[in-house]
C-alpha cells in the first residue's frame, strides 16, 4: 500500500432499535429495552414483519420470558388470531343468513346463487390471512347483505320490480299442446320438458291440461280431469280434516306446551298410554296428536321381529 493512499474507515452498521446501546431509556422516557419489555417485544415483531426474511435471518434471537423464543410466541399469536377471526366471521355470517329469510335451495334465484359465491370469496380471502385487516371484510359483508336485503324488500313492495328482477312463470303446455315459442324462450329443449313431465308422473303430454315453468325452475303440472286420480270429492264425500299434528312426547319427555294447546294435561296423556300398555312416558320415543285427539305412539321397543331389508348392496349397511 502506498503511503499517500488514504483509507476511508467503514462505519459500523446501524443495529436494530432493540440492540441500540445508545438508546438509554428506549424511545419512551423511563423505559429500557431490557428483557421482557412489552414495548420492545411489539417493536421487534413489527420490524421483522415489515423487513421480511432477510433482516429476520440476520437478527440474533433475543431471550423471551418463561423460556420461550420470540418465534414460538409469535406463532401462537398467529393461531389465536386466526381462530378469533374465524369465530367472528362465523357469528356474523350465521346472523346475516338468519336475517336474510328462509329459502330452500330449489327456491334460490340466480342472484341468490351469485351472492353465496361472492360471500364465500370474501370470507376465503380474509379469514385465514392475519396480514389482512378484518375491518374491510366486515364492512364489505355488511354492505353486500344490506344491499341484498334492501333489494328483497323492494321486490316485496313493488310487483313491477319483482317481475323485472325475478321474471314470471311461463306456460309451456296448454291443453295437451306444447307451446314451441314459449319453450324456446326458456332455453329448454323438448326432451328436457319431457324429462320434467316424467318426474311428475306424466309420460303422455295429452294427459296434461297445463304445465307451467316457475321462476325457480320447477315445473307445475295440472292434469286433465280424466287423467288425475279420483278424490273423495268426486263421490260427494267430505271427510273431516285431522288438523295439524304436533309432538306431545319427544324422546321420553312430555311436551306440556303442545299438550296444553289441545286442551289436555299430562294425566290424560298417561291414561291414554296406559290403555296402550305403556306405564311410563319415558318408554315412548315419539308421540304426536292432532285436533281430533288421535294419538300416534312409537315406543322405544317397536316389537318388530325382523326388519325388511330394502338394500341390494351386499356390503356393510
Q: Residue 46 pLDDT more than 80?
A: no
Strands 170-174 and 208-213: antiparallel
Fold held by 170-229: CRO Repressor (3.30.240)
Q: Is 88 within 8 Å of 70 (Cβ atoms)?
A: no
Q: Give the mean model confidence (pLDDT) for residues 212-239.
A: 85
Q: Ramachandran region of residue 247, left (φ > 0), alpha (ψ -120 to 50) or beta?
A: beta
Q: N- to C-terminal Cα distance for the chain?
A: 91
Q: Do domains 170-229 and 246-299 have the same CATH topology?
A: yes
Q: Rounded to two decimals, what is the model's pTM?
A: 0.51
What pLDDT is attached to residue 161?
82
Q: At 247, which helix (H) or strand (E)?
A: strand 246-250
Please report the DSSP string for 193-240 in residue order.
HHHHHHHTT---GGGEEEEEE-TTS-EEEEE-TTTSPP-GGGGT--PP
pLDDT tier at 152, thresholds 50, 70, 90: confident
What cell was used for 156?
316485496
What pLDDT is attached to residue 22?
43
pLDDT tier at 12, thresholds 50, 70, 90: low
Return the minimum-mean-pLDDT range out of 88-92, 254-258, 266-270: 88-92
At 60-88, the pLDDT tens digits run 444 444 444 545 556 677 778 778 888 88
pLDDT tier at 14, thresholds 50, 70, 90: low
> What are the boundaries of each domain within the chain?
17-54+61-67, 74-159, 170-229, 246-299
Q: Which of these CATH numbers, 3.40.50.261, 3.40.50.720, 3.30.240.20, 3.40.50.970, describes 246-299?
A: 3.30.240.20
At 94-106, the pLDDT tens digits run 887 777 665 555 5
Amino acid at each position: 500500500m502506498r503511503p499517500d493512499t488514504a483509507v476511508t474507515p467503514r462505519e459500523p452498521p446501524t443495529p436494530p432499535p432493540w440492540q441500540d446501546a445508545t438508546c438509554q431509556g428506549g424511545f419512551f422516557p423511563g423505559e429500557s429495552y431490557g428483557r421482557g419489555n412489552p414495548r420492545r417485544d411489539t417493536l421487534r415483531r413489527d420490524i421483522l414483519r415489515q423487513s421480511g426474511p432477510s433482516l429476520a435471518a440476520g437478527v440474533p434471537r433475543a431471550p423471551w420470558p418463561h423460556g420461550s423464543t420470540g418465534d414460538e410466541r409469535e406463532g401462537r399469536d398467529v393461531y389465536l388470531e386466526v381462530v378469533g377471526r374465524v369465530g367472528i366471521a362465523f357469528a356474523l355470517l350465521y346472523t346475516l343468513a338468519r336475517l336474510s329469510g328462509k329459502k330452500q335451495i330449489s327456491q334460490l334465484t340466480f342472484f341468490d346463487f351469485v351472492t353465496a359465491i361472492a360471500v364465500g370469496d370474501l370470507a376465503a380471502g380474509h379469514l385465514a390471512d392475519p396480514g389482512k385487516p378484518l375491518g374491510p371484510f366486515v364492512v364489505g359483508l355488511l354492505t353486500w347483505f344490506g344491499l341484498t336485503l334492501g333489494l328483497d324488500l323492494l321486490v316485496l313492495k313493488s310487483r313491477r320490480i319483482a317481475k323485472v328482477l325475478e321474471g314470471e312463470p311461463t306456460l309451456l303446455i296448454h291443453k295437451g299442446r306444447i307451446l314451441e315459442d314459449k319453450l324456446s324462450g326458456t332455453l329448454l329443449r323438448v326432451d328436457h320438458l319431457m324429462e320434467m313431465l316424467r318426474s311428475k308422473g306424466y309420460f303422455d303430454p295429452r294427459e296434461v291440461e297445463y304445465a307451467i315453468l316457475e321462476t325457480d325452475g320447477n315445473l307445475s303440472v295440472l292434469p286433465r280431469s280424466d287423467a288425475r286420480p279420483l278424490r273423495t270429492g268426486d263421490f260427494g264425500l267430505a271427510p273431516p280434516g285431522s288438523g295439524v299434528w304436533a309432538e306431545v312426547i319427544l324422546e321420553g319427555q312430555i311436551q306440556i306446551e303442545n299438550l296444553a294447546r289441545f286442551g289436555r294435561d299430562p294425566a290424560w296423556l298417561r291414561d291414554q298410554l296406559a290403555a296402550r300398555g305403556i306405564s311410563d312416558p319415558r318408554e315412548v320415543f315419539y308421540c304426536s296428536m292432532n285436533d281430533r285427539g288421535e294419538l300416534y305412539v312409537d315406543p322405544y321397543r317397536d316389537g318388530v321381529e325382523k326388519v325388511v331389508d330394502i338394500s341390494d348392496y351386499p356390503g356393510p349397511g
